[in-house]
């Protein structure tokens, strides 16, 4: 996991929390695990995983 960022990553995956990028991950599994943990702790947050290679966002 890498520190918070304000620009879209060029590789890997990022967690988008309520429309803001918060963390970058090297693997999709890492991003999914981080997103699911946040969703368990804070169920009202809107959490998405951003895939830099395909430029697609996926809801958690």
pLDDT in tens, 29-49: 999 999 999 999 999 999 999
- Which of 34, 40, 6, 37 is closest to 49 using CA atoms? 34
Interacting residues of 10 by C-beta distance below 8 A, sequence separation 6+: 52
Task: Note if the pTM is more than 0.85.
Answer: no
- Are 19 and 28 in contact by the 8 Å Cβ rule? The answer is no
Considering all CA atoms of the chain, what is the largest pairwise distance in Å, rounded to the nearest integer?
A: 29
pLDDT at residue 22 greater than cutoff 80: yes
């Amino acid at each position: 996991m890498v520190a918070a960022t304000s620009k879209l990553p060029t590789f890997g995956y990022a967690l988008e929390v309520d429309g803001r990028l918060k963390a970058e991950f090297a693997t999709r599994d890492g991003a999914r695990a981080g997103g699911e943990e946040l969703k368990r702790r804070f169920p009202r947050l809107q959490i998405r995983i951003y895939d830099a290679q395909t430029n697609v966002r996926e809801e958690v």
